[in-house]
Amino acid sequence: MVEKVQKVNVTVAGGYSPEVVNLKKGVPAEISFTRTNTQGCLDVVHSKDLDFEKQLPLNETQTVTVDTDKSGEYTFSCGMDMFKGKVVIS
């Protein structure tokens, strides 16, 4: 039996909404980021913890796959690390 994919949409506009993404451990997951304003440093989202970096063109959705094999709290942030969000896997 194939597990369904957890899908979460995050709006990027002066920060991240939602700021905390909760995912179930062991179930494949995708987070889709859509930037809706022109604030400079939010044109990139990255996470050393989750090993991704994505350019976020204005009003275009960019999706990252998240490995949910390990429980924990993992951060993601803008290009200048000013705006932060968190992925919680449990």
Give the full edge-to-edge strand order of the sheet including 72-78.
20-23, 84-89, 72-78, 44-47, 52-55
Cβ(66)–Cβ(30) below 8 Å: yes
Q: For residue 41, tell me if it sits in a domain.
A: yes
Token reading at 14: 């002066």
pLDDT of residue 40: 81
Q: How confident is the model at residue 2 (pLDDT cuts 50, 70, 90)?
A: low
Q: For residue 15, tell me if it sits in a domain.
A: yes
What CATH number does residue 73 fall under? 2.60.40.420
Q: For residue 1, tell me if it sits in a domain.
A: no
Residue 75 has pLDDT above 90, yes or no: yes
Whether this prediction's pTM lies above 0.85 is answered by yes
CA atoms of 85 and 20, how far apart (whole Å)? 6
